[in-house]
């Protein structure tokens, strides 16, 4: 914290009001409501310098932070049928997909790349919450399966950064079937003796949590991420009591034995690199 944060920011906030702040210059932390320089935020890997809140980030940003020197190669993912059910609510699913594709410049809620982490070859899949809440339909399922196949092909560990509100309802039971499909992906990686590491980011809920995410050899979360199976509101309505402090947050899951580690974004590359090195004893011995 410096003089700028102490004195200037609150003033700017009142001057501009929340809406008038040009969003290319200033951002606001959703946790502490403080204004933060966007340029500074990017330098800080979009972690609030005031409260340490780990903001949701673009999948492409995540890729460059995860690999050594940001260097990686993205792979093309299989394209399953678009809108298999011809689904329509207030809007047609095909139109929704089109809008999100334009907005995010992604095909769907997942990207896959390979490169090195701590000098070790690695395949990384990153889910994008920006794309329809990171919901898992065929495309995400195919992405996880493709990432697993690439990991096997490259004899490399698979790391998945999760971010999802749950299932892609617009794909009905097809989206539900992504649970067993992605579990099969984890089995393909594991039976080759390759590490499967999941990194849970805010938020990771529903069918994504209850399938491949919870089958990591190592399960890491970013600080303060919302993680669970059922949504907090559904739980509240069911049990009719107040949810405990910090419920369904990374630290809560860590203390309940569901995660191995909570790791800050700035330390993620180093931690992953170290873990891969420690796990891959067999490979080094053979070499």
Does residue 96 bind Zn ion (CB under 5 A)? no
Q: Write the burial class of residue 175 (CB in 10 Å: 0-12 exposed, 13-18 middle, 19+ buried).
A: buried
Say if CB 226 and CB 252 are below 8 A apart.
no
Say if CB 50 and CB 109 are below 8 A apart.
no
Minimum CB separation of residue 81 from other proteins in Å reads: 4
- What are the distances in angstroms from CA 183 to CA 145, 190, 223? 9, 11, 25
- Residue 110's binding partner out of Zn ion, other proteins, none, with CB under 5 to 8 Å set by partner kind: none
In terms of C-beta distances under 8 Å and separation of at least 24 residues, what long-range contacts does 4-11 make, across chains too? 5/34, 5/49, 5/50, 9/34, 9/35, 9/36, 10/35
- Residue 206's binding partner out of other proteins, Zn ion, none, with CB under 5 to 8 Å set by partner kind: other proteins
Q: Between residues 27 and 206, which has the closer beta carbon with respect to other proteins?
A: 206
Q: Between residues 106 and 235, which has the closer beta carbon with respect to other proteins?
A: 235
Query: Interface residues for Zn ion in 45-84 (CB under 5 A)?
Result: 48, 50-51, 53
Cα 44 to Cα 46: distance, rounded to the nearest angstrom: 5
Q: Nearest Cα to 48, choosing from 18, 27, 65? A: 27
Q: Between residues 9 and 96, which has the closer beta carbon with respect to Zn ion?
A: 9
Minimum CB separation of residue 13 from other proteins in Å reads: 32
Strand partners, 221: 200, 262
Beta strands in 38-168 (DSSP E): 72-74, 110-117, 120-127, 158-164
Contact positions vs other proteins (CB under 8 A): 80-90, 137-138, 141, 145, 167, 169-181, 183-184, 186-187, 206-207, 209-215, 228-231, 234-235, 238-239, 241, 243-244, 247-248, 252, 256-258
- Residue 51's binding partner out of Zn ion, other proteins, none, with CB under 5 to 8 Å set by partner kind: Zn ion
- Residue 207's binding partner out of Zn ion, other proteins, none, with CB under 5 to 8 Å set by partner kind: other proteins
- Residue 31's binding partner out of Zn ion, other proteins, none, with CB under 5 to 8 Å set by partner kind: Zn ion
Cα 157 to Cα 140: distance, rounded to the nearest angstrom: 19
Cα 66 to Cα 268: distance, rounded to the nearest angstrom: 7
Q: Between residues 20 and 241, which has the closer beta carbon with respect to other proteins?
A: 241
Applying CB under 5 A, which of residues 32, 243, 270, 278 lies at the interface with Zn ion? 32
Q: Between residues 128 and 182, which has the closer beta carbon with respect to other proteins?
A: 182
Minimum CB separation of residue 244 from Zn ion in Å reads: 23
Minimum CB separation of residue 88 from other proteins in Å reads: 7
Q: Between residues 50 and 274, which has the closer beta carbon with respect to Zn ion?
A: 50
Minimum CB separation of residue 48 from Zn ion in Å reads: 3
- What are the distances in angstroms from CA 97 to CA 3, 85, 143? 45, 14, 16
Q: Nearest Cα to 171, choosing from 76, 78, 80? A: 80
Q: Between residues 30 and 73, which has the closer beta carbon with respect to Zn ion?
A: 30
**Which residues form the interface with Zn ion (CB under 5 A)?**
29, 31-32, 48, 50-51, 53
């Amino acid at each position: 914290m410096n003089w700028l944060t102490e004195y200037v920011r609150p003033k700017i906030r009142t001057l501009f009001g929340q809406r008038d702040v040009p969003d290319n210059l200033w951002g606001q932390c959703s946790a502490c409501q403080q204004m933060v320089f966007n340029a500074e935020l990017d330098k800080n890997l979009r972690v609030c310098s005031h409260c340490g809140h780990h903001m949701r980030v673009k999948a492409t940003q995540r890729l460059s932070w995860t690999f050594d020197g940001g260097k990686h190669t993205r792979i093309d993912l299989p394209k399953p049928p678009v809108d298999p059910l011809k689904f329509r609510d207030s809007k047609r699913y095909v139109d929704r997909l089109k809008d999100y594709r334009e907005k995010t410049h992604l095909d769907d809620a997942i990207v896959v790349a390979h490169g090195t982490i701590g000098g070790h070859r690695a395949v990384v899949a990153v889910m994008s919450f920006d794309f329809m809440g990171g919901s898992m339909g065929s495309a995400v399922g195919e992405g996880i399966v493709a990432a697993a196949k690439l990991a096997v092909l490259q004899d490399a560990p698979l790391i998945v950064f999760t971010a999802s509100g749950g299932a892609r309802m617009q794909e009905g039971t097809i989206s539900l079937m992504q649970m067993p499909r992605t579990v099969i992906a984890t089995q393909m990686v594991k039976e080759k003796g390759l590490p499967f590491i999941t990194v849970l980011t805010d938020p990771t809920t529903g069918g994504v949590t209850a399938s491949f995410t919870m089958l990591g050899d190592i399960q890491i979360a970013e600080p303060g991420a919302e993680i669970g199976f059922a949504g907090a509101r559904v739980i509240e309505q069911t049990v009719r009591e107040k949810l405990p402090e910090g419920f369904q947050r990374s630290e809560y899951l860590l203390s309940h034995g569901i995660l191995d580690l909570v790791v800050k974004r700035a330390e993620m590359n180093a931690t992953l690199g170290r873990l891969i090195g420690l796990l891959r004893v067999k490979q080094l011995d053979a070499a």
